[in-house]
């Protein structure tokens, strides 16, 4: 769902996700230290939105042909 490929401010460590439906979207709250840190201290709160309904990613996307 969230990792270093789609979270620009925290590349190596994302934790404690919580999900709440808001209308036709999901709000995802999570904490992270930012950058490439994996520290458990000095973490910030992030918010990501996903549109509903959810659909799986295209299996061929990102594959080298």
Q: How would you write the pLDDT of the chain (65 residues) with one tens digit per residue?
A: 666 677 778 878 888 789 999 999 999 888 888 888 888 888 888 888 889 998 887 767 656 55
Four-residue CA torsion sign, 58, 59, 60, 62: positive
Instruction: For residue 49, give its domain range.
Output: 1-54
- Is 50 part of a structural domain of the chain? yes
| Contacts of residue 52, Cβ cutoff 8 Å, sequence gap at least 6 | 21, 24, 25, 26
Domain assignment of residue 59, yes or no = no
Q: Is residue 11 part of a domain?
A: yes
pLDDT at 61: 63
C-beta atoms surrounding 34 within 10 Å: 16
Does residue 62 belong to any structural domain of this protein? no
Number of structural domains the chain divides into: 1
Assign 10 to helix, strand or coil.
strand
HSE, CB side, 13 Å, CA atoms: give it for residue 29. Answer: 7
């Amino acid at each position: 769902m969230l990792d270093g490929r789609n979270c620009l401010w925290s590349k190596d460590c994302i934790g404690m996700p919580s999900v709440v439906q808001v209308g036709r979207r999901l709000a995802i709250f999570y904490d992270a230290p930012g950058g490439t840190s994996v520290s458990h201290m000095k973490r910030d709160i992030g918010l990501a939105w996903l549109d509903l309904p959810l659909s799986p990613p295209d299996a061929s996307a990102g594959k080298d042909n």
